[in-house]
Structure 1
Amino acid sequence: MKALVLAGGTGSRLRPLTHTSAKQLVPIANKPVLFYGIESLVAAGITDIGIVTGGTAAEIEATVGDGSRFGARVTYLPQGEPLGLAHAVLIARDWLGEDDFVMYLGDNIIVDGIDELVADFHAPRPDARVLLAKVADPCAFGVAELDPEGRVVRLEEKPRAPRSDLALVGVYLFTPVVHRAIRAISPSARGELEITDALQWLVAHDYVVRPTVITGYWKDTGNAADMLEANRCVLESVVPARLGSVDAASELVGRVRVEPGAKIVRSRIVGPAVIGGDSVITDSHIGASTAVGRDCVITGSEVEFSIVLDGSRIDHAGRLEGSLIGRGVEVSGARRAPRAHRLVLADHSKVQLTS
């Protein structure tokens, strides 16, 4: 079995952050989102991985490399334009050959992994298996309708009047018959070849499409709120460690990981949290569910439920919460502590906050 990882999207919902970085490389708990998917595939025994890339191909290739760091072999498959998930399968046709494969969206996180899903596919080997999860707003997803016996009877992409609350999670398993379905469908109204339409074609032509409804944590990290929530969930399993320096006037509470070279000075860190290597936290409070990247400097500030990327500086900025701070950002504040601010800042931004 092979894996096809989709990493060609533009990340429009994460702008302005993705003007300067691939959305699949924005870190969750100080690790790129894309890495979680690759690690899940390898853990499930799938090591032959094709990554579909778009305009950020160079950055993704430089970060992932040949896959050896994951115990995998990676092949890059350029997609000229983002013309739909089924189009990504179409351009990967020669590489996929006649192998079964997993399609994994590179900006999705499934905390429990996909080991059981892959094992369940091998046994009965249906023509396709889809992963489903209950969502509050199914209009934003591909939606599956099941009959009373739990069989897939209908699939629809972003329906105006959803027939169920079961959304297609960004992991699909296919036999080569899906190539026949993709050749048979036409672009949707938005000009894309929809994988949902290919699945519906399989159902309509009596092929076997089996569902698996997951109850564990899944998140499509397509916007800032989802990134922060995914960061919170992943940090719940952080392994505490003091690999940097923590002075006697500082306090670590709960699951806190201080990476090598980091310095905590007269500060309080409340876990779950991670402080990246060579970062310096001085006279500050870092609250729960916060990931601070490498080479950051935080002085005289409070940061909680936030992601701060590499090389950023937060100086007497009062209290920040629910914020996603890009790389090389400078945030400074007035002497009087302001109320909490909520920020989504692109890389290398400069912001001065007043009360």
Structure 2
Amino acid sequence: MSADAQTPAEPRPKAEAVVLVGGRGVRLRPLTLSAPKPMLPTAGVPFLAHLLSRIRALGVEHVVLGTSYKAEVFEEHFGDGADLGLHIEYVVESEPLDTAGAIRNVADRLSADDVLVFNGDILSGVDLGELLDTHRETSADVTLHLVKVDDPRRFGCVPTDGDGRVTDFLEKTDDPPVDQINAGCYVFRREVIERIPSGRPVSVERETFPGLLAEGARVQGYIDASYWLDMGTPAAFVRGSADLVQGHAPSAALPGPTGKALVLPGAIVAEDAVIDGGSTVGARCEIGSRAQVSGSVLFEDVTVEPGAIVERCVVGTGARIGSGAVLRDAVIGDGAVIGTGCELVEGIRIWPGVELPPNGVRFSAD
């Protein structure tokens, strides 16, 4: 080997991953009445598939899903994870345990020294390799992914010192001293997980992290400016799906090339229909002549009749949008029927199976 030859980098020591997917997704109702939030179709696949693809790309093979609401749906879809090159295990909470409690609940399935933990409703482009390296290089007990946001009051505010070490953890304060927030992705030393109290609800934000700081543990911050989005609201869900389709958010699970739209196999789209803005058109959907679908997510078997306009909406499985209807920023439940000429705007949600008559009346969230 020549003197200037590159020595191959040594592989990282093994790590494992925990994904918390037990929430009920109340903010996304009625979509989550039939499926857990991480299993909602997002850019053509369940949202969780995008996260799992990034975990596997890091070289992590063992993933534990902490489930609760409609727990069986996860295993029915992903099985043992072999199709993804993963070994997936499932641990069901019999009662809500909050974030740290849910992490502690899966501790007996873990064996690696370092454990990546993810909130299952965050879409992120963070470099997971650099996050893990930072954790190891600083010998941290816990490392938190931190991002800067315009309005940190809705999140956990996390000040750090010049070395990136976390100095405080302020959960949803009205007067945040910095714009850095907890981004819902962590690396734990497994020993720290094992010290979390078991059998009761425990919050990482209100108990675990402040407790570690109080005892002088090394809580490290990893701050970056990568893509980050909390997918908990309908508007954020629509935006995240569109960002995946357009390539603004990274994923190896996208079932097609990035571009202005993703039309899944079996969908029928009229030649003069317009599909753009990162829209996803699900399998067996039918989009009629002169219809416009922009920045929206259409689940399977949706019918959009001629001349209808659908902008920034989520439309559930089997729903029908009547000809000439106008939908903006709306959520349409599975099997709902929107009559000809209806106008639905400003965040209205239509529950599954509801049928709106073709009377052209304007419906809004107000």
Q: Structure 1 length as normaliser, TM-score? A: 0.85
Deviation of 1:148 after TM superposition, in Å, equals: 4.3
Change (3 A) 1:81 1:161: farther
Quote the offset at 1:42 in angstroms.
0.9
Cα 1:339–1:39 shift into 2, 3 Å:
closer
Match of residue 217 from structure 1: 227
In structure 1, C-alpha distance between the alignment counterparts of 2:222 and 2:147, rounded to whole Å: 9
User: Which secondary structure does the structure 1 equivalent of 2:310 belong to?
Assistant: strand
Residue 298 (structure 2) aligns with: 292
Equivalence map 1:186-197=2 (5 Å): 192-196=201-205, 197=207
Within 2, Cα distance between the matches of 1:285 and 1:218?
32
Moved more, 134-143 or 68-77: 134-143
Select which of 340, 348, 351 maps to 1:343: 348
Call closer, same or farther: CA 1:87–1:37 in 2, change over 3 Å: same
- 2:152 and 2:176 in contact (8 A); partners too: yes
Change (3 A) 1:68 1:145: same
- Name the % identity: 27
* Alpha-carbon displacement from aligned partner over 1:154-212 (angstroms, at most 9, x marks no partner): 1133334433222111111011232365239x98xxxx411122122222222222111
- 1:275 and 2:281 equivalent? yes
Structure 1 residues 236 and 66 mapped into 2: Cα distance closer, same or farther (>3 Å)? same
User: Is the alpha carbon distance of 1:118 and 1:350 closer, same or farther for their aligned partners in structure 2, counting shifts above 3 Å?
Assistant: farther
Q: Is 1:67 matched with 2:81?
A: yes
Aligned partners of 1:162, 1:231: CA distance in 2, in Å? 30
Q: CA deviation at 1:72?
A: 0.6
What whole-Å deviation, never above 9, does each CA across 1:299-351 have from its counterpart, x for those lacking one? 120112222233221112522122233332222234xx747564333443333
What does the per-residue CA deviation read over 1:99-150, in whole Å, with 9 as the maximum and x for residues that have no partner? 3201111111114552332344344442211011123443332221123443
Amino acid in structure 2 at the alignment position of 1:207: A
Q: Which residues of structure 1 form unaligned runs of 5+?
A: 243-253
Q: Equivalent residue for 1:325? A: 332
1:249 matched residue in structure 2: none
The aligned runs of 1:43-122 (5 Å cut-off) are 43-97=57-111, 99-111=113-125, 114-122=128-136
Q: What is the CA–CA distance in structure 2 between the aligned matches of 1:344 and 1:338, rounded to whole Å?
A: 12
Match of 1:313 among 295, 317, 320: 320
Partner-residue secondary structure (3-state), 2:322: strand
Aligned-partner Cα distance in 1 for 2:152–2:185: 17
Can you give the 5+ residue segments of structure 2 that lack an aligned partner in the other structure?
1-14, 249-253, 362-366
2:267 to 231, 254, 262: 262
Tell me how far apart the structure 2 counterparts of residues 35 and 59 of structure 1 sit (CA, whole Å): 13
Tell me which residue corresponds to 1:205.
215
Which secondary structure state, in structure 2, belongs to the residue aligned with residue 206 of structure 1? coil
Corresponding letter in the other structure for 2:216: D
Between the aligned partners of 2:70 and 2:33, the Cα distance in structure 1 is 10
Is the 1:181–1:202 Cα contact (8 Å) retained in structure 2? no
* Cα distance in structure 2, aligned partners of 1:44 and 1:155: 28
Look up the match of 2:164: 150
Higher strand share: 1
Residues 9 and 342 (structure 1), Cα distance of their counterparts in 2 relative to 1, 3 Å cut: closer
Shift of 1:277: 2.3
How many residue pairs were aligned?
337
User: Is contact 1:19–1:346 with CA below 8 Å preserved after alignment?
Assistant: no
Go from structure 1 to structure 2 and tell me whether the alpha carbon gap of 1:19 and 1:264 turns closer, same or farther (over 3 Å shift). Answer: closer
